[in-house]
Amino acid sequence: MHGEYKVPGGKLVVVDLEVEDGVLRHVRVAGDFFLEPDEAFEVLSRALEGAPADTDAAGLAARIDAALPEGTVFYGLTSEGVGVAVRRALAHATDWTDYDWQLIHEAPQSPALLMALDEVLTEEVAAGRRPPTLRVWEWESPAVVIGSFQSLRNEVDQEGTERHGVRVVRRISGGGAMFCEPGNAITYSLSVPDSLVQGLSFADSYAYLDDWVLEALGDMGIKAWYQPLNDIATDAGKVAGAAQKRVAGGQGAVLHHVTMSYDIDADKMVEVLRIGREKLSDKGTRSAKKRVDPLRRQTGLPREAVIERMLDSFRTRYGLAAGKVTDEEMARARELARTKFSSPEWTARVP
C-alpha cells in the first residue's frame, strides 16, 4: 500500500507498507522533508512497525514521538503528518495528480444559480460523470450568502439588504455568512472525489484542500497560512474563509468552496450583516469606515490578474483543462435555483 500527504505549508511525506494479521509491516517512510539528526530517519519507519492497522493518525504520531531520539527536529514535516500518510495508504487515497482537472470559469451568474451549480456539479463528480472540477464564480449581483445552519434573522439585516439591493441566499455547506459584490470577492469551488481526502480528518481536509491556494498566494509574494478550522490568514488578517459539504452517492464527493476578500466595502458589509467588532477585527480593520482590501493591497494586482495567477499556479502543479457546464447540468441547476435556492422555504429554513 502506498500513501502520500503534503503537509500544509510543508513537505511531502510518502509511506509504503503492508498489513499482515491486522498490523503494519514492512513500513518505509520517505519524502522531501528535512530531519535532524540523521539517525532519526530510520526511527520513523521502525516506530510504525507492528502498529495495529486501525490506529488513528494521532496514535501513530504518538508512537513516532515516543521513539525519536531527544532533540530531533523536523523541517517541513510533523509526526502526525506521517500518521496521516499511513492512514491515506490504508484507505487507498488518491492524489491531486491522479486526475484530469477541469476548469469552469463562466460569465457572471445570479447568486441562486451559483449556489445551485455547487450542488449539481458536486453530485456529478460523486456519480463519476464529471472529472474533479475547479469552478471560479463571477457574481451577477451583490449577495449575502449564509451557511446552511445559520439563523436568517440573526445573521442578516433585512432593512440593509433591501436598501442596498443585496440578495440573500443560503448555501448547502455550513460555516458563516459572507458578503460578496461583483469585482470585490474571489470565490471558487473544488468539487472532488471523496477518495482525494480519504485518511484525513474533517479538519485536516480543510488544510489539505487549501494548500494549493496558499502556494499560489506565495507565488504572488503573500505569506499566507491555514488557520483552523476554515480560514486563510496573512499578516493583514483573515483573507479567506472556506466551507465544505460531503455528497453521498456513487463514489462520493466533497464540495470545498472558498471566498477571498479582494476589496470589501466595509460600510455596506456592516449594514447588511449583523456583524460585531470582534468579527470585523479578523477581516483586517477595527472600524467599518473603510474598505477591507487585503488581496488588492497586498498584491497590487487587478482582481482578474490575481485569479489568473491562481489558476496558473494550480495548472502548473496539477494540470487544468478548460471545461464548461453541460446543457444538462445547467438545466438542473436552473431548476434548483428556481425551486430551492430562490425559495423562502430554503432561505428561511432556519428563521
Q: What is the pLDDT along the chain (351 residues), one digit of tens a residue?
A: 999 999 988 999 999 999 999 999 999 999 999 999 999 999 999 999 999 999 999 999 999 999 999 999 999 999 999 999 999 999 999 999 999 999 999 999 999 999 999 999 999 999 999 999 999 999 999 999 999 999 999 999 999 999 999 999 999 999 999 999 999 999 999 999 999 999 999 889 999 999 999 999 999 999 999 998 899 999 888 899 999 999 998 899 999 999 999 998 888 999 999 975 445 555 444 444 455 668 999 999 999 999 999 999 999 999 999 999 999 999 999 999 999 999 999 999 999
pLDDT at 293 (0 to 100): 66
Q: CA of 207: how far to CAs of 43, 108, 124, 158, 256, in Å? A: 27, 29, 24, 34, 11
Exposure string over 109-145, b if 16+ CB within 10 A, otherwise e: bbbbbbbbbbbbbbbbbbeeebbbbbbbbebbebbbb
Tell the residue number behind the cell numbers 441547476, with chain if given.
333
Alpha-carbon distances, residue 91 vs 87, 151, 194, 196, 298 (angstroms): 6, 37, 11, 10, 40
> What pLDDT does residue 198 have?
95
> Under a CB-based contact definition with an 8 Å cutoff, are residues 166 and 158 in contact?
no
Q: Which of 234, 243, 211, 231 is nearest to 279 (CA)?
A: 231
Burial of 188 (0-12, 13-18, 19+ CB in 10 A): buried
d(CA 240, CA 210) in angstroms, rounded, equals 10
- The pLDDT, as a whole number, for residue 287 is 46
pTM: 0.90
Q: Report pLDDT for 309.
A: 98
Mention every residue, 6+ apart, whose C-beta is less than 8 A from residue 293: 261, 262, 263, 264
The whole-number pLDDT of residue 314 equals 98
Asked if 76 contacts 34 with a C-beta cutoff of 8 angstroms, the reply is yes
* HEC profile of 161-175: HHHHCCEEEECCCCC
